[in-house]
Structure 1
Amino acid sequence: MFSVEPQALRDIHAVMGNPWWPLAPGWWLLFAALLLLALVLWRVDGAWRVRFPLPVLTLGSWRQEAARVLRRLRREANHAAPKATASELSELLRRIAMARHGRAACAGLHGADWLRWLSAHDPRGFDWVAEGDLLLHAPYAPPADVAAERAALRRLIDAAMAWVGTADRAPTGSESSA
C-alpha cells in the first residue's frame, strides 16, 4: 500500500485573500492625480460637462445656468411674444434672487414690493421700480406696442445679466432685515 512519512506532510495553508489589496501608496497618488486631471479638464472644457454631468460639482453654478437662460431670452426677445418672455424673465429673476439672498428674503414678495426689493438689492443700482413694471403687467395686459415692450424687455434682461455677473456681497445691516 501507499505510505507517507510524517515529515513529508505539510499543513494546509489558506489561500491569501486579494494580494493586490490594499493598494500601495503610489497607486493612491496615481488615482488622485488622475481624478484631479479629470476635474480640471471637466471645469475647463464645457463639452465635458455636457457629456458627463457631475451634479455634486455644479452646486454653485446657478450663475452659469442663469446667464445661459438670459442669453437665450436676449436672443429670442426680438422674435418671441413679449408676454412669454416677461413671464420667463420674472420667474428667472425670482430664482436668481433666491439663489443670491435665500428663499426667506424674497419668495413671498409680489407686485410693487417685489420691484422695490429688486431695486434695493441690485448691486448695479438698476431702478427696477421704474423699469420693471412690464414684469408685473405684461403677462396679463392686452397686446400693446410690441416694439416698445421688446425694447423694455431687453433693458430688463441686460439689468438681470449685470446682476448675475456681479459677485455676491456681504449683506449690510439694512439688507439683512429686508
Structure 2
Amino acid sequence: MMDELRDIHGLSDISWLPLADGWLVLLGLSSLLMFFLMYHFFLYYQRRSRWQWSAYQEWQALDPATATDTIQLQQRLQALATLLKRIAIQRYGREKCAGLNGKAWLEWLNTYDPQGFNWQIQGQGLQTYLYSPPQQIDLTTYKAEVTVIYHAVRAWIEV
C-alpha cells in the first residue's frame, strides 16, 4: 500500500500566452502607435537636419575672411542677410518674420536670438553697409563687423 503513494505535485506555472483577445488587440494597437510615432520623429529629424546641413554649407561659403574687396564683402553680407531670413522662417514660420525689415527685423532678431546676440547694436551692418557705396566704406572696419555678424548667423543654424 505504501508503494502506491506518490508525492504531491504543485500547480504548473501560469503561461503568459495565450492572452485574452482584448490584450492582444491592445498590444497590437500600442505597437502600431509606437511605430507611427517613431516614423514621424524620424521624418522630422531628417527634414530638420537636411536644411541645417544645407544652411551650414552655404554659411561656410560666405566667410568674410576670404573676401578680397568691399564689393565682394557687400555681396557676402547680402547673402548672409538672406540666409538669416530663411533660417528664421524655417524655425519660426513665415507669418512671424518674413515681412519684417529694417529696425523691426533687428528688434525681432534681438528677441529671438538663441545666443543673446545684440542685433540692434552689433547687427547694424545689415542696414548700413548693404546699401552704402563701396567707396565710402573702410574695408578693415567693415570686414570686422561682417565677421561678427557671420558668427552670429552660425548660432542660428546650430540651435
The 1-side partners of 2:52 and 2:154 are apart by 10
Secondary structure of 2:63's aligned partner: helix
Match of 2:22 in 1: none
1:136 paired with 2:105, answer no
Structure 1: 4+ residue segments shifted above 3 A: 75-78
Structure 1 residues 78, 110: closer, same or farther in 2, change over 3 A?
Answer: same
Q: CA RMSD in A?
A: 2.0
Greater helix fraction, Structure 1 or Structure 2: 2
Match of 1:86 among 77, 80, 90: 77
* One-letter amino acid of the counterpart of residue 69, structure 1: E
Quote how far apart the aligned CAs of 1:76 are. Answer: 5.7
The 2-side partners of 1:117 and 1:77 are apart by 30
Match of 2:47 in 1: 59
The 1-side partners of 2:102 and 2:144 are apart by 21
Identity %: 33
Cα distance per residue 1:55-113 (max 9 Å; x no partner): xx963221111111111111665335221111111111100000010000100100010
Match of 1:145 in 2: 138
The 2-side partners of 1:129 and 1:75 are apart by 21
Match of 2:148 among 142, 151, 155: 155
Aligned residues: 111
TM-score by length of structure 2 reads 0.64
Where does structure 2 lack aligned partners over 5 or more consecutive residues?
1-44
The 1-side partners of 2:157 and 2:142 are apart by 22
CA contact (8 A) 2:65 2:143 kept: no
* One-letter amino acid of the counterpart of residue 147, structure 2: R
